[in-house]
Amino acid sequence: MWRVSGGAEEERFISGSFQWSELGYCSASSRRLVITRRESAELKEHLTGNKSRCQRNKTMAVGRSLCGTLTRGSCSVARGVAGVIKIIAFYIVFYGCLAGIFIGTIQALLLTLSNYKPTWQDRVAPPGKEWPPLPVCRDASLSHTPRSDKAEVAFNMNDQETYMPYTKALKDFMTKYDEQWQTDKMKFEDCGEEAVEYKNRGDLESDVGIRKACRFSRSWLGPCSGLDDPYFGFKEGKPCFIVKLNRIVNFRPKPPTSNESIPDEAQPKVQPNVIPIFCTNRREEDAGKIGEVKYFGIGGGFPMQYYPYYGKLLHPHYLQPLVALQFANLTMNTELRIECKVYGDNIDYSEKDRYQGRFDLKLTITNL
């Protein structure tokens, strides 16, 4: 701070004194001086000139600094672009190698697999049975389809709304067995209305190609075909159930050769070239309440000429043989437990799986 005096009795202050620095910038000092008016004017002119030179030098220094920064920035940008390109190229090569390893592994695995049958079938259980008319579907190798929760069928024969879901499911299921879908002689062939031995269609992986499917007529199911009775017996309290063996590639069911495993009441159903099915009460307290069970289809069972199944590629139009069960004299207003089994030398049962070679259901019919 500079103190300027105009006379003996007058003093005033001028701020902003500067010193010139060899480094090209100015710094302020804080000394206090007493000067005359003329010296004050000269000091102002001197300070103003120094300030202007200081500002010019500062501007030049800033310009040089900015120029250097821009130059270094251009180099940094160039180096950054090159680095990004290198990183992108690295990841392209890296993930390309991973994709190549993955594709090569899959191709090597596919070379070991057959297009026509599963590589491993040692854990495939013997077939179960499927039976509509339950309205909910489930794709499982040993389950009935469509089905309802807990395998319960309950309806009032006097109330059409209670059994409509069952009859609708049966109609939908039987549609693919309509005669109009089996007229193409390049896809279907007649296998007879009587049970005969396996039909020779060649080995699974032979050069025969696509196999023809045996026709199956709905009319063979009698009153359970839905052709004459659209309610499949539910309206009269004589419900029908359609049963089929699940598909297993290249599986050849064997008819029972010994009567020891077959109940006495099922003995009359044993015949050559047929896998028989038999239904009875599951609980002792239901004995005598099931009444007569009628069986419709070829031989009342599953005939051998429809087997084996060659898979979707070689047997795309395959139709499974059906058996219709009609319970003609059930006890009304009572919950009944019914069990149906198929019998064959290579068909087993499991207490842990109630659909392996058999099925059971709860059936309740009311007429109130």
Looking at the structure, do residues 52 and 137 belong to the same domain, yes or no? no
pLDDT at 138: 33
Is 102 within the bounds of a domain?
no
Looking at the structure, do residues 235 and 351 belong to the same domain, yes or no? yes
Q: Among 80, 109, 143, where does a domain finish?
A: 80
Contact criterion met (CB below 8 Å) for 130 and 246:
yes
> Position of tokens 């109330």?
159
Contact criterion met (CB below 8 Å) for 336 and 286:
yes
Looking at the structure, do residues 226 and 308 belong to the same domain, yes or no? yes
Is 92 within the bounds of a domain?
no
- Number of domain units in the chain: 2
pLDDT at 15: 43
pLDDT at 66: 47
Q: Among 19, 49, 80, where does a domain finish?
A: 80
Q: What are the pLDDT tens digits along the chain (368 aa)?
A: 444 444 444 444 444 444 444 344 444 444 444 455 555 666 566 555 555 555 555 555 545 554 555 455 555 666 778 888 999 999 999 999 999 999 999 999 888 888 777 777 654 455 555 555 544 333 333 334 345 667 889 999 999 999 999 999 999 999 999 999 999 999 999 999 999 999 888 888 777 788 999 999 999 999 999 999 999 999 999 999 999 888 888 888 899 887 777 888 888 888 889 999 999 999 999 988 999 999 999 999 999 999 999 988 899 999 999 999 999 999 999 999 999 888 888 888 777 777 778 888 899 999 98
Token output for 212: 């023809």
Is 101 within the bounds of a domain?
no
Q: Among 80, 108, 137, where does a domain finish?
A: 80
From residue 101, alpha-carbon distances to 95, 110, 111, 253 in Å are: 10, 14, 16, 43
CATH number reported for the structural domain that contains residue 239 in this entry: 2.60.40.1660
Looking at the structure, do residues 351 and 282 belong to the same domain, yes or no? yes
pLDDT at 110: 87
Distance, CA of 220 to CA of 302 (rounded, Å): 13
pLDDT at 4: 42
Is 117 within the bounds of a domain?
no
Distance, CA of 55 to CA of 47 (rounded, Å): 12
Contact criterion met (CB below 8 Å) for 234 and 157:
yes
Q: Which domain holds residue 189?
A: 129-366
Looking at the structure, do residues 137 and 275 belong to the same domain, yes or no? yes
pLDDT at 6: 44
Is 97 within the bounds of a domain?
no
Looking at the structure, do residues 71 and 190 belong to the same domain, yes or no? no
Looking at the structure, do residues 37 and 144 belong to the same domain, yes or no? no
Give one DSSP letter per residue of 293-351, joined into a string. Answer: EEEESGGGEEEGGG--B-HHHH-TT-----EEEEE-SPPTTSEEEEEEEE--TT---BT
Looking at the structure, do residues 241 and 316 belong to the same domain, yes or no? yes
pLDDT at 47: 54
Is 231 within the bounds of a domain?
yes
pLDDT at 260: 72
- Phi/psi for 71 (5° steps) reads -65, -45
